Amino acid sequence: MPKTIDITIVWDDWAIGSNIYSMGRDEIIEIIYNYDLENDQPDLFSYFPLEVIKQWIWDVFAREPFEVVVETMTF
């Protein structure tokens, strides 16, 4: 399991632009349990399917991201 996953969140609002966010181990574990991923095989490039990360961002920040880019993963 990664220690951190660094992502760039691109919003559809040009005034806000994009944000860089680092998900820590606690957030990664929370995503695994909240989205029932305990028995799923992780994606080798992003650890989670990007759809799950986008849904988590929508749930946490209460707005839908236009795009999510996984920048780095630290193990």
Residue 42's pLDDT is what?
Answer: 67
Classified as helix, coil or strand, 72 is strand
Which among 22, 75, 67 is positioned nearest to 44, based on CA atoms?
75
Query: The whole model's pTM is what?
Result: 0.80
Residue 48's pLDDT is what?
Answer: 80
Residue 43's pLDDT is what?
Answer: 66
Domain range list for the chain: 4-74
